[in-house]
Structure 1
Amino acid sequence: MAPVNEAARPALKAGTRDAHERRIDRAVALIERAIAQGEEPPELGRLAEAAAFSPFHFHRVYRAMTGETTGQTVARLRLLQGLRLLASERRSVTDAALAVGYQTPQAFTRALRQSLGTAPSELRAEPERLWREIDRLAQPPQPEQGEDAPPLRVEVVSIDPFQVVALRVEGGYEAKHAGYERLFGWAGAHGLLDRLQGLYGVAVDDRRDVAEPQCRFDCMLALGEGVDPTGLPGLRLTRLGGGRYARIRHVGAFDGLEAATDALLARWLPASGERLGDALLYHDYLDDPDQVPQALLRTDVYLPLQC
């Protein structure tokens, strides 16, 4: 289970970041085409296929590189296309709304009010403002960490496969904490705590994209081989590691882990010359939050790479 450091492969020079952006652009193009034709946007699997990413990694890479989720892109581009049609005097509000996939003109109006704080008729009466909003919506938001951010300290390591016992929970931090308490309670009742080798976790969903009550997370303990997972409903055995990983250490509260992962995916990966592997992205929790202040908590993020 111990990691072995290795030198990172030489970064590809010109065009590596552009290549990643082109892959994401292929997914965006599918969304744009569907909206322009008044159709439902492609499902996540189709978008991931177009971008040549696995569905598990795609939504993380997409958000990290664009600064928005695919759902937010759909909402933005639908509103953008609606405004473009609204700018044409030949199209009524109803025509513009239905042409880009809104079920009713009222739905278009609600989207405009929520996003821009105005109604279609008011916006059409101010052509200059209308075109300013069209120009603004044509650009995705910028990712939180730009090129001026400090350099990342990333190690490329090889990890031997290791077994963990995993328990899936749904919810926020309290649900995760309760999940680990259940795992520790089960391990203690079976005399396994002296075999504890580490605490791990896999965020199945991004809490920024999924409502907290439905956000899935796998709590994991590494207890070595030969563990019987019976005695706790939902407990299962699985494996982590088994290949090359990019590792970055986050120091601070757990709610900063998404930003650390975004930085890996948006800043380091495109310039690294590496490609994502098919394994799970996972966290290695090095400190006990009940004993270590939040500002000092250490968590290693492991991003799988192709061998």
Structure 2
Amino acid sequence: MSQTEQLNANYKYRINRVFDYIDQNLETDLSLTKLAEIACFSPYHFHRIFKFITGETLNEFIKRRRIETSALELLHNNSSITAIAHKFGFSDNSSFSKAFKNYFKVSPTEFRKQNPHRHTRISQLKSKNGQAYPDSEKYICILTNLKKWIAMNATVNVKTIPKMDLAYVSAIGAQNLQSAYRELMRWATPLGLLNKQTKMLTLYHDSFKVTAADKVRMSAAMLIDTPLSITGEIGVTSIPAGKCIVANFTIGVDEFEKSWTGLFLWMNENGYAKAEREPFEIYHNNFNEHPEKKAIVDFYIPIQ
């Protein structure tokens, strides 16, 4: 690794600490001075490096994360809009509604009303192909088909999982996830950590429901049994023990979004509420080695 690559990896490692702190403290005051201290940079250099790595200023990043997380709260629990506004640092409903509408093009009330099944990807009230969302009759048909899809393609259980320790590399944007996995494997290979029993997983820090694909932050990760010495942009973290919906799929790579959407529908239909922990996938094979190019994968949704 060149000196420049080592420097960039070190910067990413230090910014990862900031990501973790922001994730755990979105409801508190997140000052430039405090976050620069966590990253061990001067405020001036931290501001420049953060924007270089994320493509956003610190204030832009925090504001977006708060708005998007508040949108998920609207979808996944029954808290009042006032409570959600105060939770994420807005002084009143008016300031929250203005910021929310500026981002999603609809008010918080309309957002919640137009997503009664709490799984639809709303963005700007358009589907991916730019067409308006279907009318109620077609929408019910879509829901029915999703329920059938889950029934036919998944084995779903509710389990209490143990704590899982991970080594990981962060990626911002779906387009960068594969390179994060390559970096993780480049680190793990000389340590002898890759074998048939090794479990790889993707941890989702943002949701594709409310975050643009090129800004979704994910971690390419692997389960580890013992504490390890880490270098560069490799980080260590853990998934806490807790209750999860766990669904096993054997699916094509183009069926992941449908599977996640259907599983969140299953969660709502069965009366479960998502916990404030991050969903993730654990892979059991290399889909390129499957005769039908299928991925054997478990999806985990943490629940209350």
TM-score, scaled to structure 1: 0.54
Q: C-alpha distance in 2, partners of 1:245/1:222? A: 17
1:201 partner letter: T
Deviation at 1:183, TM superposition (A): 0.9
Number of matched pairs: 210
Q: C-alpha distance in 2, partners of 1:302/1:246? A: 6
Partner of 1:183: 184
Q: C-alpha distance in 1, partners of 2:200/2:274? A: 24
Q: C-alpha distance in 1, partners of 2:117/2:293? A: 24
Q: C-alpha distance in 2, partners of 1:137/1:39? A: 27
Is 1:41 aligned to 2:42, yes or no? no
SS at match of 2:178: helix
Q: Deviation string for 1:54-79 (max 9, x for gaps)?
A: xxxx99xx69636332x324x89xxx
> Contact 1:64–1:143 at 8 Å: present in 2 too?
no
Q: C-alpha distance in 2, partners of 1:140/1:191? A: 55
Deviation at 1:208, TM superposition (A): 6.8
The 1:158/1:144 distance shift into structure 2, 3 A limit, reads farther
Q: C-alpha distance in 1, partners of 2:173/2:185? A: 19
Partner of 2:238: 239
1:263 partner letter: G
The 1:138/1:305 distance shift into structure 2, 3 A limit, reads same
Tell which structure's C-alpha radius of gyration is larger: 1
> Contact 1:195–1:223 at 8 Å: present in 2 too?
no
Q: C-alpha distance in 1, partners of 2:200/2:140? A: 30
SS at match of 1:142: helix
The 1:68/1:199 distance shift into structure 2, 3 A limit, reads closer
Of the candidates 121, 130, 148, which is equivalent to residue 68 of structure 1? Answer: 121
Give the RMSD, CA atoms, in angstroms: 4.6
Q: C-alpha distance in 2, partners of 1:274/1:210? A: 23
> Contact 1:167–1:234 at 8 Å: present in 2 too?
yes
The 1:212/1:235 distance shift into structure 2, 3 A limit, reads same
> Contact 2:206–2:218 at 8 Å: present in 1 too?
yes
Q: C-alpha distance in 2, partners of 1:143/1:283? A: 28
> Contact 1:250–1:298 at 8 Å: present in 2 too?
yes
> Contact 2:204–2:278 at 8 Å: present in 1 too?
no
Q: Deviation string for 1:107-141 (max 9, x for gaps)?
A: xxxxxxx879xxxxxxxxxxxxxxxxxxx999798
Partner of 2:47: none
> Contact 2:251–2:294 at 8 Å: present in 1 too?
yes
The 1:214/1:270 distance shift into structure 2, 3 A limit, reads closer
Deviation at 1:176, TM superposition (A): 2.1
Larger relative contact order (CA 8 Å, sep ≥ 6): 1
Deviation at 1:143, TM superposition (A): 7.4
Deviation at 1:202, TM superposition (A): 1.6
TM-score, scaled to structure 2: 0.54
Partner of 2:227: 226
SS at match of 2:124: helix
- For structure 2, the residue ranges without an aligned partner over 5 or more in a row are 1-74, 86-92
1:142 partner letter: Y
- For structure 1, the residue ranges without an aligned partner over 5 or more in a row are 1-19, 52-57, 77-113, 117-135
Deviation at 1:42, TM superposition (A): 5.1
1:41 partner letter: F
Of the candidates 279, 282, 285, which is equivalent to residue 280 of structure 2? Answer: 282
2:177 partner letter: K
Deviation at 1:244, TM superposition (A): 1.1
